[in-house]
Each structure stands twice: as structure tokens, then as C-alpha cells.
Amino acid sequence: MIPTTLGPMRRLHAPMWLSLLLAACLGGCGRGEPGRDFFPLEAGHRWTYDVSSEWEGSPPERESLTLQALGEHSLEGFDGLDGRAWQRHGDSGVDYWHRCDETGIYRVASKSEADPQPQPDAVRRYVLKAPFVVGTSWQASTTAYLLRRRNEFPPEIRHSHPAIPMTYTIEAVQQKVQTAAGSHEGCLRVRGQATVRLFADPVNGWQDLPLSTREWYCPGVGLVRLERSEPASSTFLVGGVMKMELVSWQ
């Protein structure tokens, strides 16, 4: 899926699965709105991440992902959308639009290069739900971005299991996080947990396989680290892990 191997990192476009995953993790707010400190989205901001992915039995693969804040724009004129929202653009060609209110930060639309126009979300897809304190939980759909079948085509599980509910919980606040972009304080740590039921192999039969995500959001910066784990422990399936760390921002 990712065409590079571990070594000197080259500037490549991020794969589509990573862009889809981040669509649930990246948002923004305007001045005076809840969560603005954790999601600066004024036009001109730019984030670059080092992404490392590893599948069972394979060497790690690395590449770079860059996101840009394009500011607030009108969605009037697009089917199923109205009003204004904050837009972000990823160098994989995917755009996201988010809004904020007293309930938190949520995505309202996304658009890949294959879409003729922004595609509205059927329901609010929260990035962070208020209040921003330990114990706050919410649900959003996810899929198995890393799990693969060993001997089937296409190997990616997400093609046959596109929507799985994941429960997100703010599990810590006032965290200190060290990244290549510097030291960050006062951060939120969010944990996401879900399961996908798959036929593991003839010995183990059908199993509920865990999907987990940990995300760190820091004041004035936004998302600084993300870790995704999808273990398999199966002869029919291959599991994987992905780590993403902020290396520069403005």
C-alpha cells in the first residue's frame, strides 16, 4: 500500500486509507468557539507528519503527509450542504470541512479527487465532543484500515467492511507530548476502540478483532501524534500498526 521502506524519508503523497482515517481525526474551530485551542484552522496553517506503518512479517514503511488550512468557506450550492465551514486540504488530494458549536467539533463533508463535489456526512461526525474533560465519550464510524487478507484480492478488509462503530473517549488531559516538532503541554489524549468480526482461520473460526486508536491534541497546534493498532494473530489475516508524528507546523 505504501511504496517506501524504512530509511531516508521521501516526500510522497499519503495513501488514501490514511487520508480517510485522518478525516475522522482532524478538525478546526474559529475564534471564540469551543475547542479552538485544540484545532487552529485559520488559513495559512500547515502541518507535516512523519508516518510509519508496519504489517506483520514486513519491514516498516515510512512517508510524509502534509495538511494545509484553507480557512472558512461557503458550502452553499452543493447538494445536501449549506452555510459555512472550515476547510483543510491533504496532499493526497482529500479535503475536509468542519464546524464547531457548543457540543464540540464535527465534520460536515469530505471530498476526494474522485468526487465531483463535497460529500455531506449523514450525521455529525465528531472529532472532539464537549466538554473536553476526562470521560467524555462519543461514537463515529471507522473501518479496518490496516488489516489485510493473506491470499485474497483485494486484500484490504475495508473493502468488505466499510463501516464499523468506534467509541472514542477523552482518557487524559494536561498531557505533555514530545515530538520532532517540539514539546507540547496541556494536551488531550483520546482513545478509540472498536471490533470487527472476521473469519480468522479454520482453527479459530470467527473472531472479534480489536481496532484501537490513540490521538494527542495540543493547544495552539492540533493533532501532534496518532497511533493505530489492528492486530490479527491469524493464518488468514495480516495485522498492522501505524504511527504518525508531527515534524513541523506553522
pLDDT, tens only, 136-175: 999 999 999 999 888 877 888 888 877 889 999 999 999 9
Write down the pTM of the prediction: 0.84
Mean pLDDT of 42-48: 92
**What is the pLDDT, as a whole number, of residue 153?**
79
Amino acid 232 reads A
pLDDT digits (tens, 9 = 90+) for 194-230: 999 988 888 888 989 999 999 999 999 999 999 999 9
Q: Reading across the β-sheet that carries 137-142, which strands appear in turn? A: 119-129, 104-111, 95-101, 84-90, 61-74, 46-55, 240-249, 222-230, 205-218, 182-201, 164-179, 137-142
